[in-house]
A and B are shown apart, each in its own frame.
Chain A
Amino acid sequence: MLRKLTIGVVLAALLMMGAITITAQDENILRYPITTDPSHLNVFTNDEIANSTVLNQIYEGLLDLDPATGDLVPQLAESYDISTNDEGQQVFTFNLRQGVLFHDIEGVELTDRELTADDVLWNFMVALNADPDVSEPTLASNMRFVVGAEEYTAAMQEMLDAGDELPLVLDDMEVPGLQVIDDYTFEVTLTTPDRLFLVNGLPSIASPEAYELLGEDFNNTPIGTGPFQFVEWLRQDRVVLEANPDYYIEGLPMVDGITFVNYGDENTALLDYREGNLDFLFSFPGGQRTAIINEFPDDFRENAGTHIRYWGFNMVDGQLANEHLVRQAFAYALDRETAWNVFAEGARIPANLGFLPPSAPASTPSMTYQYDLDKAAELLAEAGYPNGEGLPTINIYLLESIADEAQVVVWQEALESLGISINFVIEDGSTYWDNIRTDAADIFQNGWNAGIPEPAEVFDYLVLNGEGSMRWETEEVNDLLTQARLETDPEVREGLYQQVHDIIMEEMIVIPSAYSKIAWLQKPNIEGFEPGGMGIHHANLALVSNTQ
């Protein structure tokens, strides 16, 4: 009897503990799932989405892109002017907000430390540091048109190459294009007009004192001026932020904090969402997309994204580098509708247009490749390979993390039906990026996030000067892209990009496969969450309210 009673009491206690633990949610915080733990939280060396998801809520730049519209909006600079100086150079004058305070967190007390133009200058200078361990090289690359920036970075690189110890900022060398006018005015001069400078050339602003004070710990203790401030980071478990009590926009953020909960398994996140332990769900377990949408029809949201999935041809030493017609045949053989709408349950939009996100200017090329096996067979025959006869086995490289996509199976079947012999090679990221740039690979699988609906964000990185893994370039295309970068008239610019796009699709250097969708679930109590098409990590969580 006593034994039974004991067992009963233990079970009852367990049930009560469970009930208490599971329903413990009475604070006004956002419970936000992340599937990858940030590798670090250093804003200067960051180049990963997982890190950006957290850092974007802590740090701000002078300007920001509105996630919903892609327009530039004021952030730490409440306004800016564009002018031309006596030497015909483009000058940006940023008028900083007054009264912006750096975060004051436990261990790094920066009580009432106001942001000034000197801090902005310091951040620009750190961003130009040539040491990749100090600053991600893309930052300096995006600032290359700032007067004196290239010389400054080159001097640092020289020191680095000579094995000298590199200071954070070179005290004896100025960058004339970066000037502090007064406490609240900062000026940037460019050697040549660069309309993308405001989009990607402005670094986030960190606290110089915190950087110095924290040393190595700056990698995991971010201190900025944003709507949320850092509380703690329990690796592979969660990152906790709290509302910045001194945030310069009254009433924001609308919640008291955010807990980024790390999930190693998508099924676990789904279960926690179902049990009400999460306010969002961003990653759906494979094969469950339709079931999830049916289960949570009111919670489901979807936006078109700016990511493109594509197949690239090795245009230097691949077996199809000189087989223009065969490349076109491969493009006609990809049944995007079946792959993405049927097998992948609509997870992406079939890329029936071209190599740009549909929302970008010039996104419809003159030549498109709708699925047409007869046309593919004709092209093969015209190229001298009727029914694939005489065509060598084609090596297609697949990136391990996305190798299981349905499009692979769908395409393989179509190509084999044309008599083409295929050899798939699956590799992970540590060897993939090297091997697809060798003669071992004829075709490779890839994806690219444009970030904003802007042709330059694709062409400048994957086509200009043969930078992408296709390694394809022509003088004509390079000239067109360089002109487009400098062109300020939107119509003329679109025309230039249209020409480039037409050439790319006619030459068939890449087969566009799919455009991304940004899909997520959010609880009915959540309002104001607008990630736009740029990616979930761009959402401004300060505007999100939890009406629970």
Chain B
Amino acid sequence: MIRYITRRLIQVIPTVFIIYTIVFMLAYAMPGDPIKVVLGEEVNRLSQEQLQAMRENLGIDRPFHEQYLDFLGDMMRFDLGRSFIQREDVIDIIGYRLPRTLQLMLGGMTVALIIGIPAGVISAIKQYTWIDHALMVFALVGLSMPVFWQGLVAQLLLSSNTTGIAIFPVAGYGDGNPYYMILPSLVLGTNLSAIIARVARSAMLEVAGQDYINTARAKGLKGRTVLIRHHLRNAIIPVLTVVGLQVAGLMTGALVTETIFNWPGLGRAIVPAILQRDTPVIMGILLLGAFVYLIVNLITDIMYAVLDPRIRYG
């Protein structure tokens, strides 16, 4: 297992390098100039020399290969550079926001698992009953609603005494008060819970006809024991795969959720950075996102073996 984890961790390095190259090429190829985004019409008041000096200061006047290699060298020293716009180191920008985005993602994932797995399991057990149909309709609706719309509806229903009942704050981070996290987590987790419910249901149904389930029942084990120890445990692998793959989706959802709920995470930083061509910030956040995605999927793979002893890694 240790060898496997080490090998996978080593594989992360070339993957991140390839991602870095692609992202850098895309960022370089993006038309536009961060100086002109900020100055707008006022850029006409600067002389060409002043504009050139500003470009030199930012290092964006150099050829592609120089910028590419410099940035690569800096990145290997964990120096992600300095924001063109915010006059702050990218590592600080990310360092401040990443824990908040992860916090939100964790909240969303918790909601998704708490709703999704029981819904899928109950739906499978009560196959073709009204409960099954109701839960699957709920899953379909949850899957179809865009996050921004869910956010607005949730705020109107649960944060306003005018249009609903004000149980939760409308928005904000609230100095880390977990209470502020509940509504955005609910919104973020709903989509994923719908996916998990559907996958869990089909996995449960697939396992239901297996011989070891019949054997367990024939041995006289209690229904709940069969369900949890034999049925659910074997059905959970596909769910786990989906959860791992959906981390990227969760991160994307977090970016939208952060905007609606004034959550000071990475999403609030990357959107203006893209619009302002703030390449160091774009690079930093995208690379970090890729890294998080790779690590989460590694953890998912390890979890397979923990949950299913038949799976062994060489």
Contact = CB atoms under 8 A, between A and B. Distances in A.
Interface residues of B, number: 61
Contacts of A235: 93, 96-97, 264, 268-269
A448 B40 CA distance: 10
A53 interface: no
B166 A430 contact: no
Interface stretch (A14-22, A90-98, A482-490, A491-499): A14-22
Contact of B159 (A132, A264, A275): A275
Nearest to B182: A14
Interface string B134-172: 000000000000000000100110011110001111111
Contacts of A461: 41-42, 45
B49 A40 contact: no
Contact of B171 (A133, A157, A263, A468): A263
Given A47-B42, A275-B161, A132 B268 contact: no
Interface in A421-456: 428-431, 433-434, 446, 448
Interface string B80-112: 000001111000010011000000000000000
Contacts of A39: 38, 85-87
A40 B278 CA distance: 14
Contact of B50 (A132, A261, A271, A272): A132
B24 interface: no
A387 interface: no
A359 interface: no
B252 interface: no
Given A219-B88, A261-B172, A277-B170, A236 B268 contact: yes
B14 interface: no
Nearest to A428: B275
Query: Which of under 10, 10 to 19, 20 to 34, or 35 or more describes the interface residues of A?
Result: 35 or more
A274 interface: yes
Given A39-B86, A236-B268, A131 B152 contact: no
Given A14-B167, A264-B268, A21 B32 contact: no
Given A271-B156, A274-B162, A446 B41 contact: yes
B45 A268 contact: no
B259 A40 contact: no
B37 A429 contact: yes
A219 to B, nearest CB: 4
A262 B45 contact: no
Contact of A433 (B36, B170, B264): B36
B57 interface: yes
A275 B166 contact: yes
Nearest to B43: A433
Contacts of B41: 433, 446, 448, 461-462, 468-469
A48 to B, nearest CB: 7
A430 B33 contact: yes
B17 interface: no
B258 A433 contact: no
B37 A264 contact: no
Given A275-B170, A430-B276, A137 B36 contact: no
A413 interface: no
Interface in A29-76: 36-37, 39-40, 42, 45, 47-48
B21 interface: no
A176 to B, nearest CB: 24
B223 interface: no
A430 B276 CA distance: 7
B18 to A, nearest CB: 26
A434 B40 CA distance: 10
Contacts of B43: 433
B140 to A, nearest CB: 26
Interface in A190-234: 216, 219-220, 234
A267 interface: yes
A9 interface: no
A236 B100 CA distance: 12
Given A18-B168, A39-B85, A237-B264, A431 B160 contact: no
Contacts of A429: 32, 36-37, 40, 275-276
B71 interface: no
Nearest to B161: A275
Contacts of A133: 54, 57
A9 to B, nearest CB: 15
A467 interface: yes
22 contacts: A15-B167, A18-B166, A21-B174, A21-B180, A37-B272, A132-B46, A132-B57, A133-B57, A160-B53, A161-B53, A234-B173, A236-B269, A267-B260, A268-B170, A268-B262, A271-B170, A277-B169, A277-B170, A428-B32, A429-B32, A429-B275, A429-B276
Top 5 A-B pairs, shortest CB-CB distance: A430-B32, A264-B259, A236-B268, A237-B264, A236-B264
Interface of B: 30-34, 36-46, 49-50, 53-54, 57, 85-88, 93, 96-97, 152, 155-156, 159-162, 166-174, 177, 179-180, 182, 258-262, 264-265, 268-269, 272, 275-277
Given A48-B38, A160-B53, A235-B93, 16 more contacts: A14-B182, A22-B169, A141-B45, A157-B49, A236-B97, A237-B264, A264-B258, A265-B260, A267-B155, A271-B171, A275-B170, A431-B31, A434-B33, A446-B41, A461-B42, A467-B44
